[in-house]
Amino acid sequence: MATLKKIDDYRWMVPKGYKPGMRAPGIIYTKESMLKEIEKDQCIDQVANAATLPGIVKASLAMPDIHYGYGLPIGGVVATNISQEGVITPGGVGFDINCGVRLLRTNLTLEDLESRLEELIDTLFATVPTGVGSRGPLKIKGGQYKEVLRKGAAWAVEQGYGWSDDLDNTESRGSIPGADPSLVSSKAQERGKDQLGTLGSGNHFLEVQVVEQVFNERLASVMGLEQGQITVMIHSGSRGFGHQVCTDFLKVMERALQRYQIQVPDRQLACAPYNSQEGQNYLAAMACAANYAWANRQCLAHWTRQAFSKVFGKSPQALGMRQVYDVAHNIVKIEEHTVNGERLRLAVHRKGATRAFPPGHPELPPHYRETGQPVIIPGDMGRASYVLAGTLKAMEETFGSTCHGAGRLLSRQAAKRALRGKSIQEEIDKYGIYARASSKATLVEEMPMAYKDVDDVVEVVHKAGIAKLVVKLRPLGVIKG
């Protein structure tokens, strides 16, 4: 903490002199009581490392859910000026490209669910493929595969997996233009061909929740949320496909460091200029993985609606299973932002960070233009999740970004050690939720004690003004890989 400069109660500066070669300071959004844990895993060093990237503007940013990651810390945001020497770095996106969160609302209440919760969770577990290397019911190949990679969620809707207004309530309408399947390796395509429509493992989940508290009735009403309502949150990404795309391009970027004579303090931040062939090729391949992830969550939402329909004997339409929003939190986007009074085109890397665009932003669907973008923040499987809204202050300070979740407190191995000799079921029962998982190890690694308290994380972003509280969601049941 002696190396950090306190800006205010919720922002701390990593000075430019913290490490040689820093082109900008670092700014960490947190509160003093959370700093001790942040200092433990070297993520402050990663914030400083990111500040050495060519073309960085304003600052290397970190959200309160920050923890150690590959290259950029998870919870990190870095924007580079692509009209100058700005670079693109896969380490600023991560391996699970477009890991993100989708929220569905229903017209069910807690009373409707109380006697049928276990049946519902069991049905979801039987319907939605989960686990490491899980395979889904979709078999895509050839030209159809390319259409998935180019169109994203729209491909799934065209095939009958969802509704057209799902796209209206998805960031970027569920696809990034410029995807080029020819730049994706055969190994990546092989890894992804049977995984579309699967949840995966690790921190991915599908959770049934209840709206426990409403902070802003006007914003909640626009989002279709109200006290006592049942919601469903889906957290997944691009599966093995995106992981392989990242792996492939990390090798490309390591060679690019020498070719373009770029110096970085950590080779996990290997990068290339935006205007280089390497930079453009990564963006086109990353777009394929991002689109795959949106198609994946679209299919998962469809399986979810089917499971609810089976349990309650009504159509998804009759159950009111409309989509609130879908957000990405491992991605780089080319966006326009104002920096020091100048309008710039930037490559905004968000790694474990969520867009939080303000009211009036042209990328928002018309029905959210007055409220700002819905921001979906999952917690752990025993405590709360939140829905917030984007703000003008986020646009001014953080390139329209905020946190993405609670953030890990313990590594997976540390969580296993902490729970050694304890009954996992008893630990789960403490939180009053019903959980199904394809692996007991996953439950151990994902226990609430392994995560920061999401209440603290959300308090920081709300009081710092980079997202506005709308509702709190309490978990009732969850399925995991």
SS (H, E, C) the chain: CCCCEEEECCEEEECHHHCCCCCCCEEEECCHHHHHHHHHCCHHHHHHHHCCCCCECCCEEEEEEEECCCCCCEEEEEEEECCCCCEECHHHCCCCCCCEEEEEEEEEEHHHHCCCHHHHHHHHHHHCCCCCCCCCCCCCCHHHHHHHHHHCHHHHHHCCCCCHHHHHCCHHHHCCCCCCHHHCCHHHHHHHCCCCCCCCCCCCEEEEEEEEEECCHHHHHHHCCCCCEEEEEEEECCHHHHHHHHHHHHHHHHHHHHHCCCCCCCHHHCCEECCCHHHHHHHHHHHHHHHHHHHHHHHHHHHHHHHHHHHHCCCCCCCCCCEEEEEECEEEEEEEEEECCEEEEEEEEEECCEECCCCCCCCCCHHHCCCCCEEEECCCCCCCEEEEECCHHHHHHCCCEECCCCCECCCHHHHHHHCCCCCHHHHHHCCCCEEEECCHHHHHHCCHHHECCHHHHHHHHHHHCCCEEEEEEEEEEEEEC
**Per-residue model confidence (pLDDT) at position 134:** 78
CB 212, CB 463: distance < 8 Å: no
Q: Looking at residues 270-279, what average pLDDT do you find?
A: 98
**Residue pLDDT, tens place only, 161-190:** 999 999 999 999 999 999 999 999 999 999
Q: Looking at residues 8-28, what average pLDDT do you find?
A: 97
Rg of the chain on CA atoms, in Å: 21
Give all domains of the chain, ordered by start, each with its CATH number. Answer: 5-480 (3.90.1860.10)
Instruction: Report how far Cα 183 is from the mean position of its chain's Cα atoms.
Output: 24
Return the bridge partners of 61, or none.
27, 77
Q: Looking at residues 403-421, what average pLDDT do you find?
A: 84
pTM: 0.96
Band of the pLDDT at 419, cuts 50, 70, 90?
Answer: confident
**Per-residue model confidence (pLDDT) at position 421:** 65
Q: Which of 67, 243, 404, 462 is catalytic?
A: 404
**Per-residue model confidence (pLDDT) at position 255:** 98
> Residue 149 has which token pair?
């990679």
| Residue 34 confidence (pLDDT) above 60 | yes
**Residue carrying structure tokens 């994946």:** 296
**Per-residue model confidence (pLDDT) at position 412:** 80
| Residue 399 confidence (pLDDT) above 60 | yes
Q: Looking at residues 217-236, what average pLDDT do you find?
A: 98
**Per-residue model confidence (pLDDT) at position 2:** 56
CB 240, CB 292: distance < 8 Å: no
Q: By C-alpha distance, which of 119, 130, 124 is closest to 438?
A: 130
pLDDT cut 70: percent of the chain above it = 99
Torsion of CA 83, 87, 89, 92, to 10 degrees: -60
Average pLDDT, the chain: 95
Q: Is 404 assigned a catalytic role?
A: yes
**Residue carrying structure tokens 């902490």:** 418
**Residue pLDDT, tens place only, 128-162:** 999 877 788 888 877 899 999 999 999 999 999 99
**Per-residue model confidence (pLDDT) at position 411:** 82
Q: Which is it for strands 401-402 and 354-355: parallel, antiparallel or unpaired?
A: antiparallel
**Most confident segment among 38-42, 138-142, 426-430:** 38-42
Q: Looking at residues 86-92, what average pLDDT do you find?
A: 98
| Residue 383 confidence (pLDDT) above 80 | yes
**Per-residue model confidence (pLDDT) at position 427:** 76
Q: Which is it for strands 468-480 and 74-81: parallel, antiparallel or unpaired?
A: unpaired
Q: Looking at residues 26-36, what average pLDDT do you find?
A: 96
**Per-residue model confidence (pLDDT) at position 96:** 97
pLDDT cut 90: percent of the chain above it = 84
**Per-residue model confidence (pLDDT) at position 344:** 97
| Residue 284 confidence (pLDDT) above 80 | yes
CB 300, CB 234: distance < 8 Å: yes
Q: Looking at residues 258-267, what average pLDDT do you find?
A: 96
**Per-residue model confidence (pLDDT) at position 426:** 76
How far apart, in whole angstroms, are the C-alpha atoms of residue 476 and residue 230? Answer: 9
| Residue 276 confidence (pLDDT) above 90 | yes
Q: Which is it for strands 434-437 and 468-480: parallel, antiparallel or unpaired?
A: parallel
Band of the pLDDT at 100, cuts 50, 70, 90?
Answer: very high
Q: By C-alpha distance, which of 402, 368, 404 is closest to 385?
A: 404
The CA distances from residue 283 to 49, 128, 212, 291, 311, in Å, are 22, 30, 40, 12, 42
